[in-house]
Amino acid sequence: MSENPINLQSVLDGFDAVWSPRIVDTVNDYDIRLARFAGEHVWHVHEDTDEFFLVLDGEIEIGLREPAGERVVTVARGSVFVVPRGTFHKPSSKAGAAVLLVEPTGTLSVGDQHEEVPDHVDVTVGHRV
């Protein structure tokens, strides 16, 4: 936990890698992460945790595989969306986006199960700033 305020824009200005989240702080056992989205991530699932998305800039799409079939949720700047645990999902952004995520510390960016990970996706539990 930080003892001083953290300027999120300064953190975002400090990296340009997409799909490579930065851990800006920790609350209890949860990481507060910043990530840049561009293009497509990978279909994946977090079996034991929900995943919180807050779009700071741009717009993202999240593909969801649900019992009723697949659907896509568009999350605009200033909006939040939570993917429920156990739901396969695939984030993407056509024009690029900056996103704040909240996940339990140690959560892998490609979940517990995933399809083949392309080179542009960083398989990580986050990089501390």
pLDDT > 90: what percent of the chain?
A: 98
Average pLDDT over residues 9-38: 97
If you average pLDDT over every residue of the chain, what do you get? 97
What is the domain extent for residue 39?
22-109
- The per-residue pLDDT for range 6-20, each reduced to its tens digit, is 999 999 999 999 999
Residue 64: beta bridge partners? 71, 89
Q: What CATH code is carried by the domain that includes residue 102?
A: 2.60.120.10
Q: How many CB atoms lie within 10 A of CB 23?
A: 19
Q: Is residue 93 part of a domain?
A: yes
Q: Which of 28, 15, 27, 2 is nearest to 124 (CA)?
A: 15
- The per-residue pLDDT for range 69-105, each reduced to its tens digit, is 999 999 999 999 999 999 999 999 999 999 999 999 9
Residue 96's pLDDT is 98
Q: How many CB atoms lie within 10 A of CB 117?
A: 15
Cα separations in angstroms, 19 against 28, 52, 69, 88, 109: 24, 15, 26, 17, 8
Q: Is residue 51 part of a domain?
A: yes
Residue 113's pLDDT is 95
**Whole-angstrom Cα distance, residue 54 to residue 98?**
9
Kindly calculate the radius of gyration of the chain based on its CA atoms and give it in whole angstroms.
14
Q: Is residue 69 part of a domain?
A: yes
Residue 1's pLDDT is 78
Residue 97's pLDDT is 98
The pTM score is 0.95
Residue 2's pLDDT is 80
Q: Is residue 11 part of a domain?
A: no
The domain total for the chain is: 1
Count the alpha carbons within 13 Å of 49 in the hemisphere toward its beta carbon: 18
Residue 17's pLDDT is 97
